[in-house]
Amino acid sequence: MERLETLLTAALMDTQVGGESVLASMKIAVLPIAKVFTMCFLGFLMASKYVNILPANGRKLLNGLVFSLLLPCLIFSQLGQAITLKKMIQWWFIPMNVVLAAISGSIIGFIVATIVRPPYPFFKFTIIHIGIGNIGNVPLVLISALCRDQNNPFGDSETCSTDGTAYISFGQWVGAIILYTYVFDMLAPPPEGTFDIDELNLPTRNPLEGSARSVTNTAPEKVPLLTQPEAQPNPDPVKKGKIRETLEYLYEKLKIKQILQPPIIASILAMGFGVVPFFKKLIFTSEGPLFFFTDSCIILGEAMIPCILLALGGNLVNGPGSSKLGLKTTAAIIFARLVLVPPTGLGIVMLADKLGFLPAGDKMFRFVLLLQHTMPTSVLSGAVANLRGCGREAAAVLFWVHIFAILSMAGWITLYLNILF
């Protein structure tokens, strides 16, 4: 009888401890989301018509400041301090995980788009907005909010923030390449030349004799990069070859310019200087003669999180706007991105861990890998969509997916913390 009472008491104690553990995990997971939501709401309030001290032009300038200065400063200082040649070799799975996230997400997007059948011509659009998540800004915000808590499970707040930021920054260059190659091509306008197609009166392709006029009158996002020239009576092969080579050269240069955005340049410089001991001691250590530059970047980088959240909240003030996607397609994108994609990412990361691809005992490393599969649709994919002529639909998707992501991220982060700890 005494033995039975002992067993029951032990079981009750385990249940209480387990319950406290789950509650603690939920608290740790929900608090960063609550902080993000609070700052976004303040940005929304500042941009509303009742306050109006953060109008559209102000938000545009703030976004430009974040993207061109504050985010590169944060990446350069944190990644440069953390990275070494040995760590770069150990971290090889981070960029691989970004590629695998894009592939697995696109496969899920293709399956969902096949089932849902979005309105023409938004099939590829649906795939992209399910498959490509935010691997930069939102994870950086979450890591910063999580590490500020002294009771965070990853230990020292400074080490937690530095390592988390370095891991996220290390994968951003791969994300930029995917964005400006794969995403850019997938979001190309349909053969009709525009996404603004009336389903009851689809435009037909112009005849050959009207092609020159049609290209002239179309918007920039509708004009192909390499147009088919009209037939000439006696073309000069040498001249034609030179023109083609020039156009191809400009095309390649344009792609390089698109990929080499300020955050990517900051990542490359941080990795280049950080892996060389001489430059690392010169720039990134507190005793180095050029550490004042890194310290200045640290100060500027600390302003990135509040600024980007204020801008993100302000961008939601106009609501989702009008969209041709329809409720069914929009709901399918949100559900697939926030509910179907994360379990696939969890499987990828756990398999990589079983195969020994991840640094042993580094839980922050695994947490960042999981976050890369859990984030809402990439804001930069919305920028590319705007370039390609479907920005209105992208804005609607981004609005709703970020609203529902507040709930989904809290749930997934709770699960990840319970798995890791």
Supply the pLDDT for residue 340: 95
Give the model confidence (pLDDT) of 180-231 as tens digits.
Answer: 788 888 888 887 767 766 544 444 434 334 444 444 444 444 444 344 444 4
Give the model confidence (pLDDT) of 297-347 as tens digits.
Answer: 999 988 887 887 788 788 777 666 656 788 899 999 999 999 999 999 999
Q: Cα–Cα distances in Å, from 241 out to 248, 318, 373, 419?
A: 11, 49, 45, 60
Supply the pLDDT for residue 107: 96
Q: What's the rounded Cα separation, in Å, for the pair 104 and 119?
A: 23
C-alpha count within 13 angstroms, C-beta hemisphere, residue 257: 6
DSSP type of residue 180: I
Instruction: Specify the pTM.
Output: 0.73
Tokens at 1, concatenated: 């009888």
Round the average pLDDT of the chain to a whole number and report it.
79
The residue with greater pLDDT, 257 or 101, is 101
Q: What's the average model confidence in pLDDT over 159-178?
A: 85
Supply the pLDDT for residue 192: 75
Tokens at 407, concatenated: 């709930």
Give the model confidence (pLDDT) of 375-386 as tens digits.
Answer: 998 877 777 777
Q: What's the average model confidence in pLDDT over 229-241?
A: 52
Tokens at 235, concatenated: 């073309």
Q: What's the average model confidence in pLDDT over 149-173?
A: 85
Query: Helices (DSSP H) in 48-122: which residue ranges?
Result: 56-65, 71-82, 85-90, 93-116
Query: Contact 132/55 with Cβ under 8 angstroms?
Result: no
